[in-house]
Amino acid sequence: MLPDAAVAAVNVAVVKARAIETDADEVVLTADTLVVCDGDIMAKPMDADEARGMLRKLRGRSHQVLTGVALRRHDGVRWCGMVATSVVMRDYTDGEIEAYIARGEPFDKAGGYAVQDEAFRPVERLEGCYLNVVGLPLCAVAAGLMALGVEVTAAGRPPCGYCRAGAEVVSIRSGS
C-alpha cells in the first residue's frame, strides 16, 4: 500500500464531509475509493481508451483498493479511517474488455471496474473487505459511528471476510 495514496483517499473523503451541512441530529458520511497498481493511482477513466488501458494493466494481476471514510457530526467532531483490500483480477480477454466498455460500465468507477458486475466478473479473488472494493466498507462506517457515540446494531454477519476476521480499521478521531 502506498502511504500517499492512503492519505489521498482519506483527505478527499474529509473534504467531501466538510462541504456538507448537517443538522444537530445528523452525521455526515463520505468516502473516496482509489485503485493502486504498480504505484499508479487509477481514478475513474475519462474515455474508452483510458478504461481499456486500465483494464489491460489490471488483467491477471494484483492491486490494492483503498477507501477513505469520513464521518462528521454537526458539532465538528469527526472520525476518519481507511480500509485496504488486495484484489487479484482474472485473465479476461480483450473481447470481454470491449463488451464491458460498450455497456458504458467503466466510466464511474475507480480503476474502471466493478467487482459486483455479474456480466464481466473481473475479479478472481480478493483478500480483505469485499464492500471496500464496491466502494463503501461498512466495517469502517460502523467503527466510525461507534467512535462518534452512535449506537450501531447489525442484522446478521457482514458479507466481507475483513469484518469476520475482526481486523482493525485504521482510524483517527479528532475534535472540532
Helix 48-58 × helix 94-102 angle, to 10°: 140
- The catalytically annotated residue of 4, 23, 25, 32 is 32
**Per residue in 114-133, pLDDT tens?**
999 999 999 999 988 888 99
Question: Comparing C-alpha atoms, which of 45, 91, 39 is closest to residue 66?
Answer: 39
Is 3-174 in CATH node 3.40.50.800? no
Q: Would you say 94 and 64 are in contact if contact means Cβ atoms under 8 Å apart?
A: no
The three-state secondary structure class of 62 is strand
The answer to whether 4 is a known catalytic residue is no
**Per residue in 51-98, pLDDT tens?**
999 999 999 999 999 999 999 988 888 899 999 999 999 999 999 999
CA 120 – CA 101 distance, rounded (Å): 10
pLDDT of amino acid 169 = 46
pTM of the model: 0.84
pLDDT of amino acid 77 = 81
